[in-house]
Amino acid sequence: MRTFLNAKSLELHQTPLILHITRQNGGKIGRAVLRGGSLTWYTGNAQKGHRVRWADLGDLIQSSVPKRKKRKVRGK
């Protein structure tokens, strides 16, 4: 699955900003609703979302990204 987002800056002139996330074949993954105080993620066609405060978003991203393994150097 490829994910693309090409934006130099996103300004919230009108809140909320809704990002619809779909697959290349048209299948719906979900939507992210951005507000001044939080981000809410709705999976598929869900009516209730999971709210994440901006302060907690950094911790959530860091915990879900695996750390890179050190590469073995041959010949040393």
The pLDDT, as a whole number, for residue 6 is 65
Looking from the CA of 55 toward its CB, the CA atoms found within 13 Å total: 1
Q: What is the spatial distance between Cα 27 and Cα 55, in angstroms, rounded to a whole number? A: 31
pLDDT digits (tens, 9 = 90+) for 13-53: 777 888 888 888 878 888 889 887 788 989 888 899 989 88
More confident residue, 11 or 26: 26
The pLDDT, as a whole number, for residue 64 is 67
The pLDDT, as a whole number, for residue 48 is 92
Q: How far apart are the first and last CA of the chain?
A: 38
- Is pLDDT of 3 > 70? no
Predicted TM-score (pTM) of this structure: 0.60
